[in-house]
Amino acid sequence: MKRLLLLTGTLVIILSFHSSAQNFFREKNRRENSFGFGLGPSFKYADNGGQYSIFNFKWRPSFSLVYDKRLSPHMAFRTTGGIQGISSWDKPLPSLVERWKNNEDAVSFRGNIFFIDVMPYFNLLPDYHHMIRPEFNVYTGLGFGVLLSATQQKFSMEDQAPEFRSEILTPYIPFRGGLNFKAADFWDISLEGTVMITFTDKIDGNTSTHTQNDIPFQLQIIVRKYLNQLVKSNQ
């Protein structure tokens, strides 16, 4: 019995060592590309969007797909595309509604924005290899993108008021920052915030309240997986 246990233990150790050696040999080449998705709440800073100083506005869902390319231990390049729901608040002040109607601006809106952007970003801690990357990291970046808004707008608070469709295409500057957590050898989970600075004040159909352009905001959980190298490097 003792010999059987000794033989079994020796076999397990040999197989474990062989498996570890295979994993090390396979993963000595860096996985420099990752793909993932993000999901979380969002809102849009708009003239008829709400009372932002007291957090009286609507949160809507947002979804994104992300592709990352490692450039150096501190730098990476991100491509992001997705969709974000947008809408106005339910009960604007009567004085504001009257001003909007006098200026022929929309009093409410609902719809979605579709966006895509590219962005280099900086990792605070160096990432030399996906197998020995930091457990936690902080990153931030600035880029350039294009979004398309598709909304239904009303120009009266009456329930039976007609809705008018509006579509606007505009460039924007995305600013992102996040906290990244190494969940497993090939998986990362990040908490990420995004500000999308657009070049228009007309996504909501209203230009009467704020002097700033419309700005979507997102807070997402990002899940990413490191991809196998299609062509192995000699490094």
Model confidence at 26: pLDDT above 70: no
> In CATH terms, is domain 32-226 a member of 2.40.160.20?
yes
Would you list the domain boundaries of the chain?
A: 1-30, 32-226
Q: Which residues contact 169 (CB under 8 A, 6 or more apart)?
A: 146, 147, 148
- Based on C-alpha coordinates, what's the Rg of the chain? 25
Average pLDDT estimate for 197-204: 93
Residue 16 pLDDT: 46
Residue 125 pLDDT: 95
Model confidence at 1: pLDDT above 80: no
Q: Which residues contact 223 (CB under 8 A, 6 or more apart)?
A: 36, 37, 38, 187, 188, 189
Q: Which residues contact 116 (CB under 8 A, 6 or more apart)?
A: 79, 80, 81, 82, 145, 146, 147
Q: Could you please report the per-residue DSSP string of 169-214?
A: EEEEEEEEEEEEEEEETTEEEEEEEEEEEES-S-TTS--SS-SSPP
Which region among 20-34, 81-95, 179-193, 216-230 has the lowest average model confidence (pLDDT)? Answer: 20-34
